[in-house]
Chain A
Amino acid sequence: MSTMTLTPVTRPAGGGVTALGRHSLALAQRSLIKTTRTPEALIDVTIQPVIFLLLFTYLFGGAIADGNRHAYLQFLLPGMLAQSVAMGGMALGQNLNADIEKGVFDRFRSLPISRAAPLVGAVLADVVRYLTVCVVMLGFGTIVMGFRVETGVVPTLAAVALSIAFGLCFCWISVWVGMLARSSGAVQGIMFLLVLPLSFGSDVYVRTDTLPEVVQSFVAVNPITPLVATIRGLLTGGPVAGPLTTTLIWMAGLLAVFVPLALRAYARRA
Chain B
Amino acid sequence: MTTEDLVVRAEGLRKRFGKTQALDGVDLSMRRGTVLGVLGPNGAGKTTAVRVLATLLRPDSGSAFVAGVDVLRNPREVRRRVGLTGQYASVDEDLTGVQNLVLIGRLLDLSGRDARRRAGELLEWFDLTEAAQRPAKTYSGGMRRRLDLAASLVGRPEVIFLDEPTTGLDPAKREDMWGVVRTQVTSGASVLLTTQYLEEADALADEIVVVDHGRVIAHDTPDGLKRRVGGQTLRVRPSDPSRLPDVLRLLDAVAARGTSASLDEAAGSRPGAASVPVTGDEALGGLIPALRADRIEVTELALHLPSLDEVFHSLTGRRKADDLPDGTRAGDLPGPAKAEEMV
Contacts and interface: CB of A to CB of B under 8 A. Distances in A.
Interface of A: 1, 3-12, 19, 22-23, 26-27, 29-30, 33-34, 37-38, 102-113, 117, 270
A23 B107 contact: yes
B37 to A, nearest CB: 21
Contacts of B77: 112
Number of contact residues on B: which range applies?
35 or more
A265 to B, nearest CB: 15
A26 B99 contact: no
A190 B308 CA distance: 48
Nearest to A108: B107
Interface stretch (B5-13, B184-192, B299-307, B313-321): B184-192
B219 interface: no
B95 A107 contact: no
Contacts of A270: 51, 56-57
Contacts of A109: 55-56
B108 A9 contact: yes
A104 B189 contact: no
A107 B100 CA distance: 11
B213 interface: no
B107 A110 contact: no
Interface in B147-167: 151-152, 155-156, 158
B104 A102 contact: no
A112 B108 contact: yes
Contact of B135 (A11, A37, A106, A107): A37
B294 interface: no
Contacts of A117: 107
B144 to A, nearest CB: 11
B216 to A, nearest CB: 23
A5 B153 CA distance: 11
Contacts of B89: 103
Given A1-B125, A107-B104, A111-B79, A33 B95 contact: yes
Contact of A106 (B82, B90, B125): B90
Contacts of B94: 33-34, 37-38
B297 to A, nearest CB: 46
Interface string B266-294: 00000000000000000000000000000
A117 to B, nearest CB: 8
A202 to B, nearest CB: 35
Given A33-B99, A37-B135, A112 B76 contact: yes
Q: Which of A22, A27, A103, A110 has the most chain B CB atoms closer than 10 A to its own CB? A: A110
Contacts of B110: 9
A7 B189 CA distance: 11
A107 B187 contact: no
A30 B95 contact: yes
Given A30-B92, A30-B95, A112-B79, A4 B187 contact: yes
B113 to A, nearest CB: 13
Contacts of B80: 11, 112
A11 B187 contact: no
A8 B156 contact: yes
Interface string B69-107: 000000011011011101011111111000100011011
Given A33-B99, A102-B93, A110 B54 contact: yes
A27 B91 CA distance: 14
Contacts of B108: 9, 11, 111-112
B109 A11 contact: yes
A7 B183 CA distance: 15
Interface in B23-70: 51, 54-57
A1 B156 contact: no
Given A33-B95, A37-B94, A9 B155 contact: yes
